[in-house]
A and B are shown apart, each in its own frame.
Chain A
């Protein structure tokens, strides 16, 4: 009985011993299973981590590139707008200068016109005044002539105490007056 127990124990011990690989051994089963497991790990890594992360990195790179392109475009546009405005500003400055010059020229022309018109006006007024003076003078002289002639007639008639006919009177008076006019 004890012998049998001993044999069984030995067999169990042997079984335990057999249930282990030796320290340095190559087992085909382990190799095959390891290959399968490695393939699964690689697939897990690829589908769960590598693919999504690479996708995101690509997208980010694309976004960054796009943003940079957009920024570059915006910069170029801004530069173009700036150049445009500068040109417009330059043009408007020239325009303004031109307008001012035109206005000055016009004003000068107008000034001259006004001055010449005023001069003309003044000249014509002077002329009119002179004419009217001449006219008045003539009229006054004529009036004086008549008055004087009347007075002379009156005085003469009083002196001569006699009526002289108007025709003779006038002859006499004219001669007198022309003498007076020459003296004047």
Chain B
């Protein structure tokens, strides 16, 4: 009886590998799989950016330059529309983050573990958002304005305001991380389940359709959401002059 309910095979989802470990003095540096995959992503992006951005002409009809201009204009417009003209200097960060995020998520398609399904990676970006938000608050309102913002509109709102400040980057971090991880898990489950049917022949074709949503679409939409939220949080962090 127990044999009947015993699974034929086991499916498990594990965290990223500890790829490299070395000591600097007494501190043990552990480089995870996510970082190694990030290096691959960086290499690819570096080559792509370099190829796209070289030999540009004022009057050009080359597809390469059109692609480069489309990409840069996409980010320029995104930042300008969401944040406004005076936050244009954030464009490189948003552009770089978007490319980094989307390609990291897509690395799952090539059999790597997505760096974006590692909470630490997204947490780093969430921390960046928090720091940028804080910086903008201090810059526009000063320390006084920043502290005053916590007791507005009413002093009893203080705890909620503090929670709100922290909750924004945390929620955005968890959203991105969990979506990509869940996508990977569901994708893995589908592969696993179909692999049990008809000697694994069922896992040909069908997972590709699911992968279209869970990997391609999700990768794009999560990168977009994360960048849009970052822009919104940073630009909304403007403290009043009063």
A35 adjacent to B124 (CB under 8 Å) = yes
Report the stretch among A39-47, A131-139, A154-162 that lies at the interface: A39-47
Chain A: interface residue total (CB-CB under 8 A): 40
A19 adjacent to B123 (CB under 8 Å) = no
Interface residues of A in 14-45 (CB under 8 A from B): 18-35, 37-38, 40-45
Q: Say which residue of B32, B39, B52, B75 sits within 8 Å of A30 (CB atoms).
A: B32
Chain B's interface size range is: 35 or more
A34 adjacent to B54 (CB under 8 Å) = no
* Docked CA distance A13–B50 (Å): 44
Residues of B within 8 A of A42 (CB): 92-93, 95-97
B14 adjacent to A38 (CB under 8 Å) = no
Report the stretch among B41-49, B134-142, B186-194 that lies at the interface: B41-49
Q: Does any Cβ of B come within 8 Å of A54's Cβ?
A: yes
Q: Say which residue of B18, B57, B58, B72 sits within 8 Å of A50 (CB atoms).
A: B72
User: Across the two chains, which residue of chain B brings its CB closest to A46?
Assistant: B92
Main secondary structure of the interface of B (DSSP, over half): helix
Query: A35-B124, A38-B125 in contact; A29/B31 too (CB < 8 A)?
Result: yes
Q: Say which residue of A34, A48, A52, A60 sits within 8 Å of B38 (CB atoms).
A: A34
B31 adjacent to A41 (CB under 8 Å) = no
Residues of A within 8 A of B31 (CB): 29, 33
User: Across the two chains, which residue of chain A brings its CB closest to B92?
Assistant: A46
* Docked CA distance A53–B32 (Å): 35
Residues of B within 8 A of A52 (CB): 53-54, 56
B58 adjacent to A30 (CB under 8 Å) = no
The 4 A-B residue pairs with the shortest CB-CB distance in the complex, in nearest-first order: A42-B96, A30-B120, A21-B15, A48-B49
> What are 16 sample pairs from A and B whose C-beta atoms fall under 8 A apart?
A21-B15, A27-B120, A29-B35, A33-B31, A33-B38, A34-B35, A37-B42, A38-B100, A38-B124, A42-B96, A44-B45, A44-B96, A45-B96, A49-B53, A50-B95, A53-B56
